[in-house]
Structure 1
Amino acid sequence: MDLGGSGNDSVVTRFVLLGLTETPARRPILFVIFLLAYVATVGGNLSTLAAILVEPKLHSPMYFFLGNLSLLDVGCVSVIVPAMLRHFTSNSRSIPYRACLSQLFFFHLLAGADCFLLTVMAYDRYLAICQPLAYSTRMSWGIQQALVGMSCAFSFTNALTQTVALSALNFCGPNVINHFYCDLPQLFQLSCSSVHLNEQLLFVAAVFMGVAPLVLISMSYVYVVAAVLRIRSAEGRMKAFSTCSSHLIVVGIFYGTGVFSYMRLGSVESSDKDKGIGILNTVISPMLNPLIYSLRNPDVQGALQRVFMGRQLSK
């Protein structure tokens, strides 16, 4: 796949990312803030993954999917934040055409897999609560692997399609992106070719990877809530709601920011609101996910304590 920017009519070989601020005095402060956020995100998600691997109690489908979500979050934040940190410390804020498209591809690959994986996790909760007798059969180890593999395959197809379609556009100037990373809406604004097909492809992707998963998640939780309300024990209801509430919070943050980012293609110019939503989507959400899941789950908390304190796992 040729991602070069030197097509027949294209003259732009580098883009300039305006970033979060054009004031040099603010850059060291922002560098420290986002460096700490990056360390916290990577450390939190890898700690969650380590806890899942070493704690036998967490060797279940729900935590298998959570471990994969943690890996995706580490990858997603690593695609965006290190480049942002480099721009904070450099006078040059340019990014080569190929690097820009590579960043876009990997971001959509990882974020798209997140979309499908969150849907799979909702289906897992539906089976566990609404069909507990069939749970072990319908969520076997092979099915778990297949669901994760399908999520990655669908996301890869979309990311590749969007990137190839974008690489067919001509960029003859200007080359200034009013954002801190390369993404489709901002690049559409810079193209001197027609982006009608690209916008249609993005709309289809938004329906397939945004609307459809959100509908399936909502339907799953309608059945889950109905089943939980039939539980006579107040303690049982609280436990069931507790296992679902963390996932619902993550879904709300992820889809709330995603809808704002990709359903505004009619907007002519990027604004600071786009940057703020971008921070929520690419930095804050991956950083909060391990906190959301661990704070409400005593099993994860206990496993994390054993990981950090180096104690032997009790059988």
Structure 2
Amino acid sequence: MTLTVRAAAKVNLALGVGGPRPDGFHDLDTVYQAIGLYDDVTVADAAAWGVEVRPVGEVDCSGVPLDDDNLAVRAGRLLAEHHGVRRAAHLVVDKGIPVAGGLAGGSADAAAALVALDRLWELHTTDEDLLALAARLGSDVPFALLGGTVRGTGRGEVVEVLPATASCWWVVVPSGEGLSTPAVYRELDRLRPDAGPPAPPTALVAALAAGDVTRVGELLANDLQPAALSLRPELAAEADRLRDVHAGPVLLSGSGPTLLAYAASHADATATRLGLAEAGVSALVAPGPVAGVHVVEPVR
């Protein structure tokens, strides 16, 4: 028997980052949004844990681990441990979310694995326990379960669903080379040795609730962007090239290196993608917000 669950990519509408904590993490105050780029995770019972990753379109999967370091496998092991069951599964990940791009594809896979195996094994894990397990796996995993538009605090794992009525479109411009998230945070600490707590995204939350798409675009922010550009100066030139064909806001996704263009309509987003294509740059178009983890193929 197999079961397939779908999970969406993540962007940060606002990413406020505080100074380093004693545990090595940073306090965050962020607004997540799930966008319409997806990974599908198919699970089946197996004698031992295993994972297979298959690209969707032009996604480069060469950097995805195929052993116990894979976050989806770790999620499955954690779920089995939580329930005290001795089971294993084979996971197949059809990956449409660009890898190592600040879009939380690994976190999406972990969230999908939690839900898929919970359903396959009929464990009936509570939503509260699923979120707690997700938080143990990574800061973005609880959000990946929820999808939509969510505020994250703590290190990002304390999640609050926002009453967001604004919808938009994103032009996603992947990079051919990944960027280490820990390295970006280290560079941020070097650039801001006296950083205080993150600024709350109060105005952005209000604009989302009001459905003010234009104001949302004006309030997009990412505290990690200066550090990422410091490590990869060429990204600034790529952002300028994106602005040449896009009149709206442009920002870095998470710790990068993926660049994002925010658009109020599908027509605007498509025009930007076509402008990039004429310049020889590949890009994807995705709506936001979209649903979190959900079953697309039931047990069969």
Find the structure with the greater CA-based Rg.
Answer: 1
Structure 1 length as normaliser, TM-score?
0.28
Structure with the higher strand share, 1 or 2: 2
Structure with the higher helix share, 1 or 2: 1
Structure 2 length as normaliser, TM-score?
0.29
